[in-house]
Amino acid sequence: MINTGIKEVRTSELNELLDQKGVVLADFYASWCPPCRAMTPIVEQLAARFAGQANVVKVDVDRANELASTYGVRSIPTFLLFANGQVVERVVGTTTEAALVGMIESHLGQLGWAELELTPRK
């Protein structure tokens, strides 16, 4: 796993996240993949920006190849955006932070993210 501070998930952990209401961005990657490594700082920024609003996770296709197969991931990096457990967006290859932000914000808005925050308000 690339040491990013972003949680790397496998099948059971991703399924638990997808069973909850909300938005999940899953970065399907491999440690040996140069474009994946190039996207790491962007993914880290997204995780920080959307903390408490959306989950941003990494899926190592070498360790969780069953997930890659389940979701039809054939090239990496692939970004899957889930809303309420369903794939709603897919980006294959490198992309911009703005494009990923737009995807996440669009679906947070559709779900009414203020009601779906992951951490309780005090």
Catalytic residues: 33, 36
CA dihedral 57, 71, 32, 12 (to 10 degrees): 50
Structure token digits, residue 66: 């069953």
Contacts by residues 85-88 (CB-CB < 8 Å, ≥ 24 positions apart): 85/18, 85/19, 85/20
- What span, in angstroms and rounded, lies between the C-alpha atoms of 11 and 19? 12
